[in-house]
Structure 1
Amino acid sequence: MDVSFLGGPLPQRGVGIVAPFDFALDRELWRWVPDDVSLHLTRTPFVPVEVSLDLARLVSEHETLREAVRALCAVAPEVVAYACTSGSFVGGTAGERAMVAAMAQAGEVPSLTTSGALLDALREIDARRIALVTPYTKSVTDSLEDYLDEAGIGITGRCYLGLTREIWRVPYRDVVDMAREAAVDAPDALFISCTNLPTYDVIPQLEAELRMPVLSANQVTMWAALRGIGKEAVGPYQALLDPVARRGPAAMTPSQPLSHEGDGLTEPDDQTPGPEPEAALAGAGTEPSDPLEGTSELGYGQQAHPDDWSGGAQPPL
């Protein structure tokens, strides 16, 4: 059949992504991307170092970033994002700004990092006190707190796993358990760190349960990158992306009662029906309707403590 009349594929906008060599969640990034945008991914060179402050420094060296951006520019992306939280907060706010400058200079293209995108997202939702969830060791988690403190963001509670490898294998159930543990002292929002930690499907569930906006590393990265080219990230009922979600359950504090109107949930002084928490999980692509089903056998994080637990079962080789 002659298909020449179709005129070829639809034009695509390009977003370049620089990821660490061990990044395993390419598919998760794509889930936030509209159909007329393509992601162009490249990775930093392999180094035989486990997840640590040393690794964060190695994968964020300016020459490493310049080389990656130059490679991406062969396909002319409109914006480039460095998709690594620890690599972009390890040098503090000044270090993050220097990374952005090095990337922008190398490719003559607007550039951003995950940690810089996080601060933009917190400003977007007006969050100044947050709960923190990470898969990192204590030293890496402490470094993230230092970065946020320098930016004027307070931490109300935290929970971390103490992992040094294969973070992408952490199941959704452990992410949810950590979030429940960390969300203390009425934070404005909760942040789930690390671009290698799966989060896409748990965000709407946690917002409905915890009654607060929930941000994740991959979410803020894609939100900021797409906003940089005038596009909107897509995602089921997430407060950062959806003004309706921001006015719904995610805007409430746990002490505020829910008011039922018909089949929806509304704030007590808002009679406009909104989606049930179950409906918030609908349309999440081809994943299971219950994001907690099918969790792995690893089960790390079940007993995570927000203050002083730095341990965590390591995944098998």
Structure 2
Amino acid sequence: MVDMLEDLSSMVPPGPVVLSKIGVVAPYDMALDHEMGRWAEGQADLYFARSPFEPSPVDLAQAEQLARPEMVIETSRRVGAVAPDCYVYACTSASFVHGVAGERELVSAFRAAGLPHLVTASGAILAALTALKVRRVAIAAPYTSAVTQRFADFLEEGGLEVRRASMLGLAGEIWKVPYARTAELIASADCAEAEAVVAACTNLPTYHLIAPLEEYLGKPLVTANQAAMWAALDYLGLEPAGPGQRLLAVRADGSKR
């Protein structure tokens, strides 16, 4: 028996590695689980729970449906058994639709329910721009004009100056937008007065675009999923993965990594 155990010990690798856990509350139409996981590679495991299916176009009415604190809290409990170290609410529009006060109320309600720290996509965007010491921004959004305007209002309420906004006018299936079209959208949004470009929507693929577009634009590009994962990992004391992405070189307090 002893000999068998010694033989096994030489064959069995160490581990398993125990990673931090991030619970992700996602809207029912979220299709980019794999993208969000890229920033956490080797650092944290992500556990997704989706909101109840309530078919609706991507508009202000949908955002208001998804902004209900009780729904976010109830959805988060579906992954509570694995004891996440923190949560991310991966819906940009739902976390900006009621302004800065609405985003803060959502976070407060989550905490009052006895749940761990909550990062919202929109709150993380504000935190990212603050850490980068940016005040003037351009917006690149896949949304309709009404939703894009509400996002601009949120950013301005958060102390930023929106100098230009470009949009795709989409009301669904945003995850299908090809990189080429997204790159054109971001480039068209940029202007000389903007210190950074912000790409909205957690359902818009951006991971592989960020570093090359930052080089092309000569300024930071902050995207919804990037900011959300950066903020969550920073809260956990972990470093996000994303070579060449400017945001990842700073911490939430503005210090350099």
TM-score, length basis structure 2: 0.91
1:242 is displaced (CA, Å) by 2.6
Given that 1:96 and 1:113 are in contact with CA atoms closer than 8 Å, whether structure 2 keeps it comes out as yes
Match of 1:203 in 2: 210
Match of 2:87 in 1: 80
Q: Distance in 2 between matches of 1:220 and 1:214?
A: 10
1:207 is displaced (CA, Å) by 0.6
Q: Distance in 2 between matches of 1:122 and 1:10?
A: 33
Given that 2:43 and 2:240 are in contact with CA atoms closer than 8 Å, whether structure 1 keeps it comes out as no
Query: Counterpart of 2:231 in 1: which secondary structure?
Result: helix
Q: Which of 223, 242, 247 pairs up with 1:235? A: 242
1:23 is displaced (CA, Å) by 0.2
1:5 is displaced (CA, Å) by 4.4
Q: Distance in 2 between matches of 1:81 and 1:51?
A: 20
Q: Distance in 2 between matches of 1:79 and 1:102?
A: 15
Q: Distance in 2 between matches of 1:39 and 1:218?
A: 13
Q: Distance in 2 between matches of 1:209 and 1:61?
A: 39
1:8 is displaced (CA, Å) by 4.2
Q: Structure 1 residue 214 and structure 2 residue 221: aligned?
A: yes
Query: Counterpart of 2:119 in 1: which secondary structure?
Result: strand
Match of 1:115 in 2: 122
- Which blocks of at least 5 consecutive residues in structure 2 are unaligned? 1-6, 251-257
What one-letter code is carried by the residue in structure 2 that aligns with 1:152?
G
Q: Distance in 2 between matches of 1:236 and 1:88?
A: 28
Q: Distance in 1 between matches of 2:84 and 2:133?
A: 30
Match of 1:258 in 2: none
Which segments of structure 1 move beyond 6 Å, counting only runs of 4 or more? none
Query: Counterpart of 2:247 in 1: which secondary structure?
Result: coil
Q: Distance in 2 between matches of 1:75 and 1:214?
A: 33
- Cα distance 1:205–1:109, how it changes in 2: closer, same or farther (>3 A)? same
Match of 2:161 in 1: 154
1:104 is displaced (CA, Å) by 2.1
Q: Distance in 2 between matches of 1:34 and 1:201?
A: 15
Q: Distance in 2 between matches of 1:184 and 1:106?
A: 43
| Matched pairs, number | 243
Match of 1:62 in 2: 69
What one-letter code is carried by the residue in structure 2 that aligns with 1:25?
L
Q: Distance in 2 between matches of 1:36 and 1:217?
A: 19
Match of 1:38 in 2: 45
Match of 1:170 in 2: 177
What one-letter code is carried by the residue in structure 2 that aligns with 1:146?
D
Q: Structure 1 residue 225 and structure 2 residue 240: aligned?
A: no
- Which blocks of at least 5 consecutive residues in structure 1 are unaligned? 244-317
What one-letter code is carried by the residue in structure 2 that aligns with 1:41?
F
Question: Which has the larger helix fraction?
Answer: 2
Given that 1:130 and 1:157 are in contact with CA atoms closer than 8 Å, whether structure 2 keeps it comes out as yes
